[in-house]
Amino acid sequence: MRFRALAVVCLSAVLAGTVSCGSKGSQKEIVIGEYGSLTGGIATFGISTKNGSELAFDEINKKGGVLGKQVKLLVEDDQSKPEEAGTVVTKLINQNGVCAVLGHVASSHSLAAAPICQSNQIPMISPSSTNPRVTQVGNYIFRVCFIDPFQGAVMAKFAADTLKLKKVAILVDVRSDYSVGLQTFFRQQFRQLGGEVVVEQSYSQGDSDFRAQLTAIKAANPEAVYLPGYYTEVGTIVHQARELGITVPFLGGDGWDSPKLWEIGGAALNGCYFSDHYSTDDPNPAVQKFVADYKAKYGQTPDALAALAYDAARILADAIQKAGSTDGSKIRDAIAATKDFPGVTGSISINSDRNAVKPAVVLKVENGKFLLTETIKPEAVKL
């Protein structure tokens, strides 16, 4: 009897809490929502992104905010689960009344949340989802980074033209649409440029033992291995590869970009390359200022995710300012009209597919640093 009463009381208390929690922004503020993975397997991505956008809004608020009002950023955690992404975005839009949404890093999460933003006519800007299908969901969905067809082609061109490679192996993460998509585009372009994929092996995000796949790759004798995965596995894989006696360079994508990559992989990574959105070596004073500010606030060098989040936040603020209102459709139009925005990740223009057209950089890993090796412009790659 007691337990039943207790249960009812708990239930009502919690339901009441659910309804009342989640404040709508006051009229004196502009509320922007962000969803990311702050806990779980890809937590560092979410944290970097959050840091980047917070830094941007802090700066903007210090300068007076947007449309004369302070910007309030509400960040929700989806625990690295794609289905949670949909739930938290619904909460942000309906419970908190945000006028726009920033997110996500991982394309599967963006794909889960985008339909909700689209049907609510709330603009969504993804800082770093690179799978092409994300912006195809609807005209309210944008991104400020390049997409995987371009990124895969960039690395293929680098491998074929700069490194003069003919035979490459591919090691793909089958649980990540990012990885699967990227290797498809790499393979297409590499073949077009006259190269050959000698063997393909796969692994799953979260695995820690890759010796079986690496042994098979070694037997096929490639000149390099394309590894378009996330940094957590990449570091471990390359480390194990060197132990097995594989000496050829590994190539990768922006999923490698993390302060933890070197920590995990160590000297095994020397001489490897990956494509990315920006480089901390960029002499551009705006970039250097961003790097210094970020370091001062968070004690770490900003990775590409933080830089892209920083740009996405600034583009959004700029669009709201240009639109002159917090109305969803007006903000959407302003974002779509973004041309040559001076971002730290390059000059950003949003094209008719709602993607950003920007150059990519190829970075070389050397003794804990990522060295700018080559910049490849969109025009140079025949898609």
Partner 1 sequence: MRGGLAAALVVAGLLLLNALFTGALAPAFALPPYLLQVLCLAGINVTLAVSLNLINGFTGQFSIGHAGFMAIGAYSAAYFSVTFGEALRAALGFLPPFARDGAVLLVALAIGAFLASIAGFIVGVPSLRLRGDYLAIVTLGFGEIIGVLILNIDAVGGARGYSGIPKLANFFWIYLFAALTILVVYRVVHSSFGRTLVAIREDEVAAEAMGVHTTRAKVISFVVSSALAGIAGGLFAHYLMYVNVRSFTFLKSFEIIIMIVIGGLGSISGSVLGAILYISLTEGLREFAQYRMVLFSLLLVILMIVRPQGILGHKEFVTFLTKRRRSIGAAPGTPGNA
Partner 2 sequence: MTTFLQQLVNGLSLGSIYALIALGYTMVYGVLRLINFAHGDVYMVGAYVGYYASRRLQGREPSIVSALLVMLVAMVACGILGILIERLAYRPVRREARLTLLITAIGVSLFLENAAQLVFGPDPKFFPSLAPRADFHVAGMRLTSEQITVIAVSVLLMVLLRFFIMKTRTGKAMRAVSFSLDAAKLMGISTDWIISVTFALGSALAAAAGVLIAMQIPKIDPLMGIPYGLKAFVAAVLGGIGSVPGAVLGGLLIGTSEVMVVGYLSSTYRDAIAFGILILVLILRPQGLLGRVQKEKV
State in angstroms the smallest separation of the CB of 152 from partner 1: 16
Give Cα separations from 195 to 245, 279, 369 (angstroms): 24, 28, 29
Member of 37, 44, 48, 108 binding partner 1 (CB under 8 A): 108
x-or-dash string of contact with partner 2, 157-196, rule CB under 8 A: -----------------x----------------------
Determine, following the binding rule CB under 8 A, whether residue 121 of this chain makes contact with partner 1.
no
Which residues, 320 to 379, sit near partner 1 by CB under 8 A?
none
x-or-dash string of contact with partner 1, 175-194, rule CB under 8 A: xxx--xx-------------
Member of 91, 104, 277, 332 binding partner 1 (CB under 8 A): 91
The residues with which 272 forms a beta bridge, in sequence order, are 365
Determine, following the binding rule CB under 8 A, whether residue 95 of this chain makes contact with partner 1.
yes
Nearer CB in complex with partner 2: 139/202: 202
Determine, following the binding rule CB under 8 A, whether residue 111 of this chain makes contact with partner 1.
yes
Determine, following the binding rule CB under 8 A, whether residue 244 of this chain makes contact with partner 1.
no
Determine, following the binding rule CB under 8 A, whether residue 249 of this chain makes contact with partner 2.
no
User: Which of 92, 204, 89 shows the shortest CA–CA distance to 137?
Assistant: 89
Determine, following the binding rule CB under 8 A, whether residue 174 of this chain makes contact with partner 1.
yes
Tell me which stretch binds partner 1 (CB under 8 A): 6-14, 148-156, 188-196, 207-215. 6-14
Nearer CB in complex with partner 1: 80/279: 80
Nearer CB in complex with partner 2: 71/246: 246
State in angstroms the smallest separation of the CB of 222 from partner 2: 14
Determine, following the binding rule CB under 8 A, whether residue 79 of this chain makes contact with partner 1.
yes
67 Ramachandran zone, left/alpha/beta (phi>0; psi -120 to 50): left
Which residues, 200 to 239, sit near partner 2 by CB under 8 A?
201-204, 206-209, 211-213, 215-216, 218-219, 232, 235-236, 239
The item of partner 1, partner 2, none sharing an interface with residue 21, based on CB under 5 to 8 Å by kind, is partner 1
State in angstroms the smallest separation of the CB of 124 from partner 2: 25
User: Going edge to edge, which strands form the sheet with 100-102?
Assistant: 70-77, 29-36, 100-102, 124-126, 141-143
Member of 264, 287, 291, 304 binding partner 2 (CB under 8 A): 264
List interacting residues with partner 1 (CB under 8 A).
1, 3-4, 7, 10-11, 14-15, 17-19, 21-22, 38-39, 76-77, 79, 81-83, 86-88, 90-91, 93-95, 107-108, 111-112, 115, 131, 133, 174-177, 180-181
